């Protein structure tokens, strides 16, 4: 009985140290270094204040003027407020996890150019891990090297150049659809309305499906629908109390069902490719699976590759890499294209400059038989400057969530202690 009481006392003391004393001690350590931040709340960290600021920042806010690019107060009001209150670099808490947020360009440069591996990509709430998969953008160390070695050949210069024909074909089909829609609207004496978000999501899904997975748009669309549903759930869960991330709540059970369906769909795409290439699992056929992303993943997954040794991937790792590419390679590209179209719409003078450059460098652009290749695209300097650089600079302001990991490091003279 005494032993049980002692064990219970020790467990209580450990919980108090972990949940109360340790976060406050770490916060004081950063304050001594000039790094402040929103106060730690028991178990929830900074999330209750973040949720309050998010709701307050979006309540009754008038629509943003088309000529205004200051979207941070609307998009991320909590971080906008914390930067104003605590400076460019501050400490905040994701539950029990301490994190450094910074818009200091020099600090960001130090973290992004560091090659020591001290800055780990080692935290993401469970629902986001289910969405993005534990692919190459989230793993670290030897696993990252192994995955990168498998995936990288799918994105070399020659492979990207070979995507030009597919991209041009799918884009031409989209523009033809726009033309038909506009013509129909003119016939009905109505203004044509084109949903750019839907159009570019559809465009990037078709391109990714063909150049990365060698499959039909319908297969890719089913995967994307499941991932979009998971994204909605993840967005709603991000500001929940951390303990809810791990409990069998209705939301988490829904995520599990979606994730199961997603894995099943990706597996069917994998099996269809293996069947088409005559390399079904267990046959020992050494035929190649193709040089696109899915083919390279399957080459590292199939049994004959594992027998020969080298860089191999498990079934879960192949599925995670597919999920990572779907999540990071499809919607981000579509969003960038939408922003670029928005900028061209509000700056018509740039439309004229870009159109003039395209017609000058690609005089055969109006012919259906002529496809712009990578060499032509490289000459379109204004297109790249405006549509890519300006979109990023205006809308995707650089910020870093440096999750404090189990290393003793110094970030621009900020000492981060082992936890």
* Domain layout of the chain by residue ranges: 13-122, 151-346
What does the pLDDT read at residue 81?
Answer: 92
In the numeric block, which tokens belong to residue 307?
């027998």
Exposure string for 123-150, b = 16+ CB within 10 A, e = fewer: bbbebbbbbbbbbbbbbeeeebebbeeb
Residues lower than pLDDT 50 in the chain:
279-281, 286, 307, 393-409, 417, 419
What pLDDT shows up at residue 412?
Answer: 52
Does the CA dihedral 318-319-324-326 come out positive or negative? positive
CB of 294 closer than 8 Å to CB of 270: yes
Residue 230: name the closest of 127, 133, 330 by CA: 127
Alpha helices in 33-71 (DSSP H): 47-58
The answer to whether 336 and 149 have CB atoms below 8 angstroms apart is no
Determine how β-strand 400-403 pairs with β-strand 97-102.
antiparallel
Query: Whole-structure pTM over 0.85, yes or no?
Result: no
The full DSSP string for 245-289 is GSS--HHHHHHHHHHHHHHHHHHHHHHHHHHHTT--TTS------
pLDDT at position 231, please?
A: 84
Q: Helices 141-151 and 315-329, interaxial angle, to 10°?
A: 70
* 151-346 classified as CATH 3.30.565.10: no
Token pair for residue 35? Answer: 């790094």
- Burial label, 373 (beta-carbon count in 10 A; 0-12, 13-18, 19+): middle
Contacts by residues 373-381 (CB-CB < 8 Å, ≥ 24 positions apart):
373/161, 373/164, 374/157, 374/160, 374/161, 374/164, 377/164, 381/357
CA distance 281 to 278: 10
């Amino acid at each position: 009985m005494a032993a049980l009481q002692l064990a219970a006392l020790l467990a209580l003391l450990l919980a108090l140290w972990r949940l109360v004393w340790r976060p406050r001690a770490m916060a004081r350590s950063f304050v001594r270094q000039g790094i402040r931040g929103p106060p730690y709340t028991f178990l929830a960290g900074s999330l209750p204040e973040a949720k309050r600021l998010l709701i307050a920042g979006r309540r009754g806010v008038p629509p943003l003027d088309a000529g205004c690019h200051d979207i941070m107060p609307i998009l991320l009001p909590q971080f906008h407020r914390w930067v104003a209150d605590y400076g460019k670099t501050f400490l905040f808490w994701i539950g029990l996890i301490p994190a450094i947020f910074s818009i200091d360009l020099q600090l960001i440069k130090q973290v992004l150019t560091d090659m020591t591996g001290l800055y780990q990509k080692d935290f993401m709430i469970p629902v986001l891990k289910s969405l993005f998969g534990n692919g190459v953008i989230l793993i670290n160390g030897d696993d990252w090297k192994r995955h990168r070695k498998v995936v990288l050949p799918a994105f070399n210069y020659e492979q990207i150049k070979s995507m030009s024909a597919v991209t041009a074909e799918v884009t031409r089909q989209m523009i033809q659809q726009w033309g038909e829609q506009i013509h129909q609207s003119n016939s009905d004496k109505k203004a044509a309305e084109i949903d750019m978000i839907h159009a570019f999501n559809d465009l990037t899904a078709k391109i990714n499906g063909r150049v990365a997975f060698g499959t039909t748009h319908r297969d890719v669309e089913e995967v994307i629908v499941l991932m979009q549903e998971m994204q909605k759930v993840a967005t709603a869960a991000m500001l929940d109390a951390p303990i809810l991330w791990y409990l069998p709540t209705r939301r988490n059970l829904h995520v599990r069902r979606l994730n199961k369906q997603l894995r099943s769909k990706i597996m069917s795409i994998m099996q269809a490719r293996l069947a088409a290439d005559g390399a079904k699992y267990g046959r020992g056929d050494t035929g190649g699976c193709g040089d696109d992303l899915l083919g390279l993943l399957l080459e590292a997954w199939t049994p004959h590759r594992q027998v020969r040794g080298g860089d191999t991937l498990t079934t879960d790792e192949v599925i995670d890499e597919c999920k990572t590419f779907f999540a990071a390679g499809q919607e981000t590209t579509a969003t960038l294209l939408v922003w670029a179209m928005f900028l061209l719409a509000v700056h018509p003078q740039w439309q004229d400059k870009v159109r003039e450059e395209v017609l000058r460098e690609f005089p055969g652009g109006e012919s259906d038989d002529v496809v712009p290749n990578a060499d032509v695209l490289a000459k379109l300097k204004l297109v790249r400057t405006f549509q890519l650089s300006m979109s990023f600079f205006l809308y995707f302001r650089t910020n870093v969530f440096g999750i404090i990991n189990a290393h003793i490091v110094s970030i621009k003279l900020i000492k981060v202690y082992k936890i």
